[in-house]
Amino acid sequence: MTALAPRLRARPRAAAGAATTFRYVVLIAGAIVMVTPFAYMVATSFQGQAYVLTLPPQFIPSHPTTANYTTALGAQNFALYFLNSAIVTIISTALSVLLSSMMAFAFARFRFRGREVIFRILLAGLTIPAVMLLIPQYILARDLHLLDSLTGLIFFYVAGSLSLNTFLLRGFLASVPAELDQAMQVDGATAWTRYWRLALPLAKPAIATATIFTFLNGWDEYPIALTLINNPDHSTLPLAIANYQGQNATQWGLVFAASLIAVIPVIIVFLVFQRYFVQGLTAGAVKG
């Protein structure tokens, strides 16, 4: 029995080690699957037209060139499309995060008739596929005279992101001890003061998460912009790149270079807010 004891103890350790190795293998394989398309886009953007879409794919360009980036940046109205996307995305992100944080604070801290019903109706919007709303959105934009305008895009981007952001922020704010809010009330703080000086500073992780999601959705959004925008001067980057691809159907290096330029702001926003990202996601999942 004494001789068997070390062997019995070694078996759980070996099993745990094998399980850990298996998890690492699965994670590495998943990471490779996720990164490979992006790596291929980067590699193709530095290749000349004669070397694009070769088999097997070349992840290290044999004849690297920056001509695709020069052409993409020098394309007609590319700077205007970039500016349009920046204006629409920044304004819609700011408005969405502000409005959803105010709504989340009200749902988390105030008690009023129909609170849960209203919140569930708000969440019901998350269950409706976005493509089913394109025709109603077009009719509403037409009736509100928002067709073919950046204002119309901002309006629908804000409306489309309120449900998810409110859900994330409400879960976080509901986890904040109510005693802090009550202490400020005793000191005479108004609801606005408690929201601005207590809720917002404590909700930084959830706000960062909502900001990333909203910015990414607005920057990359295509169907709504395609439905509402007809004037090329009001086009955003996704529309411009799609049209550019149609005009240069075989110049994939050029298309990928323009796409990579469009990805840069998203990467910057994620790097700025990534320290709060995981914490905000976890907090938003807490039931309020």
pLDDT in tens, 171-194: 888 888 888 888 888 888 888 888
* DSSP code for 112: -
CA-closest candidate to residue 174, choices 122, 217, 216, 115: 115
Residue 284: what pLDDT?
A: 45
Domain boundaries, the chain: 4-65, 76-284
In this structure, of 100-114, 219-233, 266-280, the range with the lowest mean pLDDT score is 266-280
Average confidence (pLDDT) over 42-68? 74
- Measured over the CA atoms of residue 81, residue 87, residue 90 and residue 95, the dihedral's sign is negative
pLDDT, tens digit, 9 for 90 and up, residues 65-124: 788 888 888 777 888 999 999 999 999 999 999 999 999 999 988 888 888 899 999 888
* Contact between 126 and 164 (Cβ < 8 Å): yes
Residue 190: what pLDDT?
A: 87
- Cα separation values, 221 from 153, 195, 224, Å: 10, 31, 7
Three-state SS for 145?
coil
Residue 282: what pLDDT?
A: 54
For residues 256 and 262, give the distance between their C-alpha atoms in angstroms, rounded to a whole number: 10
Residue 286: what pLDDT?
A: 46
Residue 277: what pLDDT?
A: 66
State the pTM of this model: 0.82
Q: State the pLDDT confidence band at 288, using cuts at 50, 70 and 90.
A: very low
CATH top-level class for 76-284?
mainly alpha
